[in-house]
Amino acid sequence: MTNGTMRAARVHQWGTSPTLDEVDVPVAGDGESLVRVEAAAVAHLDRTVVEGNFDVKPGLPYIGGVEGCGVVVESDSFSPGTRVLLRGGGLGVKRDGTWAEYVTVATKHLTEVPDGMSPELGATYFVPVSTAAVALNSVGRLGTWWNEQLSSPDDEIVIVGGAAGVVGSMIAQIALLQGARVMGLVKDGSEVARLAKGVEPIVSDNRKALRELESNRPATILVDTLGGDDLATRTS
């Protein structure tokens, strides 16, 4: 690709919003790929870095964006036009990130995106899906606890606090795919429509349903995505 300029959102001072600047298009070095960014996320880590509260601080000004999705322009491993997930390798922290029209990244940190996945989904699914998988399988051991306590994996019951949120929805969907019965705790009736198909809704203002849960304690796994001062009450 010939040299040129691009637009990028750069942070010039900690705790301030980025500004849209015109900068040079980066040049891929050995073992790197040049990717045209189609979608970039604003992740929780991005906010932490921008506020200046992260232990690792990029040199100012820097281009933020720890996650994204794009199309390969130049690479020694991927064919041009391949859509890839952008995550890792110090993006947005140790090197310029995805808040730009083009970005370079170590090729080993690129992951090809399945056909049919939109750039927006490709840029945002990694963190909620990986968080959900770790919570259910590494911490909760979904699908293994029943070996000792239950007659079949179908008896596994997962209750998800905040099931209408991004992480909560991923937890619920993965649990359903693995054969569990899933109950989703939501704030009010407006969030019920956002639950994944197959999730049994529990609305927080339904005192009768909450009393039944407290009495029966049916969950084999309880995953809370909300935190806060009410955590002890929800998990007791």
Measured in degrees and rounded to the nearest 5, phi and psi for residue 76 equal: -90, 0
**Which has more confidence, 148 or 169?**
169
Residue 60 is predicted with a pLDDT of 94
Least confident of 9-18, 26-35, 68-77, 135-144: 135-144
Residues in Cβ contact with 151 at an 8 Å cutoff, skipping those fewer than 6 apart? none
Residue 140 is predicted with a pLDDT of 78
Question: What is the spatial distance between Cα 120 and Cα 78, in angstroms, rounded to a whole number?
Answer: 21
Residue 217 is predicted with a pLDDT of 67
What domains appear along the chain, each with residue ranges and CATH number?
5-123 (3.90.180.10), 127-235 (3.40.50.720)
- Provide long-range contacts, Cβ within 8 A and 24+ apart, for 181-184: 181/154, 181/155, 181/156, 181/157, 182/157, 182/158, 183/157, 183/158, 183/159, 183/213, 183/218, 183/219, 184/159, 184/160
Strand partners, 222: 159
**Which has more confidence, 116 or 151?**
116
Count of CB atoms within 10 A of residue 127's CB? 18
Mean pLDDT, the chain, whole residue set = 84
Mean pLDDT of 215-234: 66
Least confident of 46-60, 101-115, 132-146, 177-191: 132-146
